[in-house]
Amino acid sequence: MVAMLTRLMPNITGPRSSKQRILMSVANSIFFYGAEVWADALKVKCRRNRLLKVQYKGALRVACAYRLVSVPAVLVIAGCIQVDLQAAERKRIYEAKIEGADRNIYSMERSTTPQKWQQKWREETRGRWTARLIGEVQP
């Protein structure tokens, strides 16, 4: 998957940012297939880091950044919510759907995930220069 993202989304002279965002959303659709099942596995740091590495490659292409930019900073610049937060959101929605929750659970969960992302962004030690410029994250 990393090789696919690298070939489809070159850093320079490639598709415009809007097309790169579309390619990233397609990659995310593949990436999060079955996330309800494997979301708990991301509590282990090494597993989470492996998936973040793949997401980082795509976010680098969307942001047209170089690999010197830290993972949290490039995800904020590209507007990509971290993989562990997205997977946990999908799992919570799935579990609520099984329990028979109303349709408002989708909007509630979709609104709490960016808040959790903002909290992680405030507590992150890397990418502080970017945090001075971009204080509030926007997915």
Tell me how far apart the alpha carbons of residues 20 and 26 are, in angstroms, rounded to a whole number: 10
Percentage of the chain surpassing pLDDT 90?
Answer: 22
What pLDDT, on the 0 to 100 scale, is given for residue 14?
58
> Is 138 domain-assigned?
no
Whole-angstrom CA distances from 87 to 11, 96, 120 are: 27, 14, 15
Domain count, the chain: 1
How much is the pLDDT for 5?
A: 46
pLDDT single digits (tens) 59-108: 888 888 888 889 999 999 888 899 999 999 999 988 888 887 777 888 88
Q: How confident is the model at residue 111 (pLDDT cuts 50, 70, 90)?
A: confident
Q: State which residues form the domain around 25.
A: 2-126
